[in-house]
Structure 1
């Protein structure tokens, strides 16, 4: 079996690495191989005398029809870890090269964009080029078409690739901010668009490309349509004249190298970037600027009144936490569940957007619970009775079961997703309470808006099972305490270095505060006004 994440061509004398990152349901070999011509794109890059001397790395992540709960975030983590890892024979890791060029096909472009934005501190000193080859930046209609297949196999990435999914919409905004925040001449890219659908017959039109132009051309000027290519052949050149290869050659020679300089060839090995440097520890996964909470973040977590309130409620009841994006709902819940000492199953409902919301929710819950049970056999039918049975089995024998539902779609209409989820939860809690004769089951829901309780069948009974709690925007004293906590644990920024209007500009969002601090560390030459403007993008105040 072909292995991802290895050097194709390692040149210790060059300061430039081209990193090929494959797409959906693919790997570092099949993605770039033209079987008919018996060519491999990285081989052509080495052979082409128009491309200066560089190292070439074949980056990747696990993607298969049964990849299950692995999503874009997990794929980007796999790739990032690989880029920091030395080879088994001692070759330097790709991230030690000052100039990095990512050639990304399809999903690979989303994974790379997510990685670059999430781990921005690790790429501050690099000169970076990105070639997005048929990458569905805002999703693909085909992912919508095959949503049932993705759902059957519980393929999270397949669901996240749907047009304008919540994850892609959020990443789209954050990546634009990232691009705009980079110093001039340190980040550039090109976007290539496929020309035809997989089945292309001149006399039989109608098969559209998998990734449409509006999704494949989002961030860089001068997008290129590659004639007579489909979603697969755009990255499988048979010779040096292939359109996809020509776009890469032109990007390197006309844009990237003129901006950052030709690859420097030295006789000495490039000294690796020291990961011990304090700025490299400030990733979203750890340290005072963490994004998503885990137990390593506890020293940097500011406990507030709402944390104590929810802990008390959780000891007695299920709860529904609602509030604006960026107010810390996810971290509150993850911290609570992490310390609960029982099985917690996390579910994402952002892809449950078809008209039959109830059935979509039931299917998502059954599939996720089934995959979380290592002893489970065949997937049961997606029915309410089966969902009820799985939960009852989960709380049997004096066991606890906690279900966390995140990213509830906000439809805004009276007969929308929130109403159907509320009714389903009401029915489910009532049934489990009556049949289990135990208080060992909890449902935790997180959403942007408060559900309309008028749709409840029996509000007095529901209120006895579930509490509805608003996660309000942070008060000024809370934000000030958060800033003190963060800056006390940073060597690079002190509270005296921050602008007086930082708290007022945040509009009660701790995420805004952290975004500003990350930007200040990454781009010390920018003014506070510029950093506030950059940090504000993507927020809806």
Structure 2
């Protein structure tokens, strides 16, 4: 509770609570806009395409994130995957999926539950891949924070779906990179206990997303158990699903480490640290950063026929 009290103490003077949660759209609104809240570009956006693509890599942001800003370092004009990955994986089509993951907003926060977001991801990604005749193409996810939970649920929904075309995501998914995903919960759920007045202004909140992040939350446990059972069954049947879990090394001011190593990792799979806090671990500036080298190295190892070297 001391940690929560510390957060509450500084919340009144903080410019926005989202700064403690995840990479977010913190750019000031345009003068023509009367809504001070960040925009929520949703759905699929193609960062990099090529006529002879042989694999899709889909990036999914986390809590308070954005399909562009989550992956864009300060003072950079484009997301790092669009800048740094094409030279490493020239035949990979790079996608970003966006959804309204704000839980505290000056106007009205989306009331979508985690499962609602997972359904939308499944449908949007399926429609996009169908539209460019890529439904049978291998698929890799790179997900930050809450985005990892959304991906896991979308994959489980795709499995044995009554609509055959929606089964393609599960059937062709070959790997997932989790970046700071709270597989076992996170103290950040305590934010839901802070009254709106304590945050300085009247806010609209989507507490269902925060409830999912509570340690021992039943839905969180169910997602993890079902996902792990699926992975084990696929592995025993001879299908290899690649998984790597990245965890944050550095704490955020006041908040500390948002997702612990224990929560961010999955037993039996590679766990790798990034020398950054939860907010910045998904942002790279150059290909010389060790965090980028580790992540890109996994992607290139998973698709060796596409790699162009270290």
Residue 25 in structure 1 maps to residue 79 in structure 2: no
Q: How does 1:402-421 map to 2 (within 5 A)?
A: none
Larger radius of gyration: 1
2:274 to 215, 226, 230: 226
Deviates more, 1:135-144 or 1:243-252: 243-252
1:167/1:35 Cα in 2 relative to 1: closer, same or farther (>3 Å)?
same
Native 8 Å contact 1:144 1:163 kept in 2: no
Q: How far did 1:91 drift?
A: 4.9
Which residue in 1 is equivalent to 2:179? Answer: 133
Residue 165 in structure 1 maps to residue 217 in structure 2: yes
Which residue in 1 is equivalent to 2:98? Answer: 60
1:198 to 247, 252, 262: 252
Which residue in 2 is equivalent to 1:249? Answer: 296
CA displacement 1:299-354 (0-9 Å, x = unmatched): xxxxxxxxxxxxxxxxxxxxxxxxxxxxxxxxxxxxxxxxxxxxxxxxxxxxxxxx
Which residue in 2 is equivalent to 1:74? Answer: 116
Say what the alpha-carbon RMSD is for the aligned residues: 2.5
Question: Gapped runs of 5+ residues in structure 1?
Answer: 200-205, 264-541
The DSSP-based 3-state class of the residue aligned with 2:225 is: helix
The DSSP-based 3-state class of the residue aligned with 1:113 is: helix
Native 8 Å contact 2:247 2:264 kept in 1: yes
2:154 to 102, 112, 115: 115
**TM-score, length-normalised on structure 2?**
0.72
Give structure 1 regions of 4+ aligned residues with deviation exceeding 4 angstroms: 149-152
Native 8 Å contact 1:100 1:128 kept in 2: yes
Q: How far did 1:12 drift?
A: 3.5
Q: How far did 1:58 drift?
A: 0.9
1:219/1:110 Cα in 2 relative to 1: closer, same or farther (>3 Å)?
farther
Q: How far did 1:37 drift?
A: 4.2
The DSSP-based 3-state class of the residue aligned with 2:171 is: coil
CA distance in 1, matches of 2:131, 2:122: 17
Q: How far did 1:158 drift?
A: 1.4
Native 8 Å contact 2:247 2:273 kept in 1: yes
1:125/1:235 Cα in 2 relative to 1: closer, same or farther (>3 Å)?
same
1:190/1:242 Cα in 2 relative to 1: closer, same or farther (>3 Å)?
same
1:91/1:10 Cα in 2 relative to 1: closer, same or farther (>3 Å)?
farther
Native 8 Å contact 1:37 1:238 kept in 2: yes
Q: How far did 1:144 drift?
A: 2.3
Which residue in 1 is equivalent to 2:125? Answer: 83
Higher relative contact order, chain-length normalized (CA < 8 Å, sep 6+): 2
Q: How far did 1:134 drift?
A: 0.7
Aligned length: 249
1:60/1:219 Cα in 2 relative to 1: closer, same or farther (>3 Å)?
farther
Q: How far did 1:149 drift?
A: 5.2
**TM-score, length-normalised on structure 1?**
0.43
Q: How far did 1:162 drift?
A: 1.2
Native 8 Å contact 1:161 1:168 kept in 2: yes
Q: How far did 1:247 drift?
A: 2.1
Q: How far did 1:221 drift?
A: 2.0
Native 8 Å contact 2:52 2:91 kept in 1: no
